[in-house]
Structures are given as structure tokens and as C-alpha cells.
Amino acid sequence: MKLALEQISPDIGSSFHLLLTPHLSDVFLWHYHPEYEIVYIEGASGTRHVGDHISRYDGSDLVFIGPNIPHLNFDYGVKTDYRKVVVQLKENFLGEVFWQAPEFTAITQLFERARSGVSFHGRTKAEVGAKLHQLADLTPFERIMALLTIFQQLATSDECTPLHGKPVAGAYNLKEQQRLKRVHQFVAEQYARKIDIPEVAELANLTESAFCRYFKRMTRLTFTQFLNQYRVNQAQKLLLTDHTVSEACFACGFESLSYFNRIFRRVTGENPLQFKKRHGL
């Protein structure tokens, strides 16, 4: 699994991309993209991992995520028969004038809040989830109108919780995104060995201090936090395939079992043995 800059295009004849039940429960998809994303999953309990936020959801989940927030696929590790709807759209999916209309003030504010990631619960989650499932049966015009109605309901709901610690800025130029992609690919290929920040800074053509500032600005994570999260994700994959805790630790670039256990708990909320037990291993 590689942490990737996901490439997203609108559906033909539509201003956004709609996905119905893309099953990725066996894939560790730690990724980001410049588009906004609504995810609704039901019939499942799993881990909600958005930026620096990690928590559990039970039964169903509804999340609205802003641009460039690293997040794990919400169905990772789910073993039940579940349904999922994903809507992905660019910030200007209806044009720049859309945001200037006074009728859309609440929705504009919702999109700003989504830069930190927002989860919804209660009646809002149930009603919006049902509406999201209906989108695929609508005509293109009906679909965009239904989506605006969904945004308005989310914008006026108080049944919500912010997720990621700080908003992530969305206006990154192509050069910055290409640089971040190079760093991600490097980590995906080299995570099993010792990685020093000066080495990664050189790859990004930046000084060490400039790289640290750049990476934190782009992801709201330090490079060390990002690397540890990636390694833990890889370790989870090994633990699910009958590797021991010690084997997973050293195969994923950790040099100390005690440090691995501490970071694993910090990232996932449980230690490696608890993780294996929860998955029946």
C-alpha cells in the first residue's frame, strides 16, 4: 500500500464524483486529495482516522472532509456486510459565483468547517445517509439539487463534531503537490529502514528547517508523526497476516519494541496485542 495523492475526476455529465459501496476493507488506504469528500457508511463499526484525529464509530458514520487532509479509508478492517456512499467534489464545483450568493452563506461556512473534518451523528446522520443512497437513482439535475439540500441540512445541523486539530489550507500549487507526492512515494518505498529528516529534505530540494515547515503546513502533521502513522498502518497489515508483534515492529522500521508499542497505541488507541485480539488473531 502506498500513501497517495488520489486523482479524482467528476463523473461524465456531472459536477462531482459519486461512488457506491467501494469495498476497500482489506486495504490500508492512507491518502489525501484536493477535493472535498462526504463519506457515509452503514452496517459497520470501524476506525475514524482523519488527520491527527482517531476514534471509533459504531453502526454507521457520516463525515465531511476538506481538501488535503490525510485520512484512512473508513471501511478498513470491517468484516460485516456494509454499504458506503462517497461524494467527491472540487471547491469550485459550481463555479466561483456560487460562493458569493447570499443564499449559500451557511453552506460556505460548512465548507470552511470541513477543512478540519466534521463528523455528524443523530438524526442528521440517519437522514443525510438515506438521501446520499438515493443520489444514484436521480437525474443529473435532480442529483445536484439533492446534494445542495444535503449541504444545507449539514450546514444547519448542531449534531456535529470537528475532527482534525487545525484547518488544512486548500490552495496548494502543482509544484507543492508534486513535491509532497515525491515524499509520500519515498516513505512508501523506504519506510522499513531508518529515515532521517535531512535525507527527505534533500529529496524535496529544501533545507531541513524549510522542509519541516513545508510538511507541517501541507499536512498539519510533523514528518515524524506522518512516518510513524504510516509505519503503524503497515504494521497493522502484517499483524492481520499472523506476524508476531516483534516481527511487525522491526519489519516496519521501528528500532525499539517499547517505542513501537507506545506509538501504536497513540495512533490507534490500542496496543498491538489488543489489535490482534479484536481481529480474532
Top-confidence residue, 113 or 267: 113
On whether both 149 and 211 belong to a single domain, the answer is no
Residues 27 and 158 in one domain: yes
Any residues with CB less than 8 A from the CB of 111 and at least 6 apart, and which?
Answer: 36, 66, 91
What's the rounded mean pLDDT across residues 9-17? 64
- Residue 2's pLDDT band, with cuts at 50, 70 and 90, is very low
Residue 149's pLDDT band, with cuts at 50, 70 and 90, is very high
Cell numbers describing residue 117: 473534518
Residue 201 has pLDDT above 60, yes or no: yes
Look up the CATH number of the domain holding residue 73. Answer: 2.60.120.280
Q: What single-letter amino acid sits at 247?
A: E
35, part of any domain: yes
pLDDT score of 29: 65
Q: Is the pLDDT of residue 212 over 50?
A: yes
Co-location of 137 and 189 in the same domain: no
pLDDT, position 210: 95
Tell me how many domains the chain contains.
2
Give the tens place of pLDDT for each residue, 27-62. Answer: 556 677 788 999 999 888 777 778 767 777 888 999
- Give yes or no for a contact between 226 and 30, defined as CB atoms under 8 angstroms apart: no
Residue 48: its pLDDT value, please?
79
Q: Is the pLDDT of residue 157 over 50?
A: yes
**φ/ψ (deg, to 5) at 258:** -65, -40
Using alpha carbons, select from 8, 158, 165 the residue that is nearest to residue 91. Answer: 8
Point out the domain boundary residue: 162, 183, 203.
162
Identify the CA nearest to 200 among candidates 223, 175, 232, 173: 223
Looking at the fold, whether 199 and 100 belong to one and the same domain comes out as no
- Residue 88 contacts residue 36 (beta carbons within 8 Å): yes
Look at residue 169 and tell me if it is in a domain. Answer: no
Same domain, 156 and 185: no
Domain that residue 201 falls in: 174-278
Residue 211 has pLDDT above 90, yes or no: yes
pLDDT at 18 over 60: yes
pLDDT of residue 171: 46
Regarding whether 272 and 203 lie in a shared domain, the answer is yes
More confident residue, 23 or 265: 265
pLDDT for residue 1 is more than 50: no
* Residue 13 banded pLDDT, cuts 50, 70, 90: low
Quick one: pLDDT band at residue 146, thresholds 50, 70, 90? very high
Considering the domain architecture, whether residues 130 and 12 belong to the same structural domain is answered as yes
Quick one: 204 and 141 in the same domain?
A: no
pLDDT above 90: percentage of residues in the chain: 42
19 bridge partner residues: 86
Mean confidence (pLDDT) of the chain? 84
> Given this model, what pLDDT does residue 4 score?
45
The whole-model pTM stands at 0.62
User: Does 3 score more than 60 pLDDT?
Assistant: no
Interval 229-261: pLDDT, tens: 889 878 988 898 889 999 999 999 999 999 999
- The answer on 271 and 199 residing in a single domain is yes
Q: Report the sign of the C-alpha dihedral through residues 199, 203, 205, 210, in that order.
A: negative
25-36 pLDDT tens trace: 555 566 777 889
pLDDT recorded at residue 184: 79
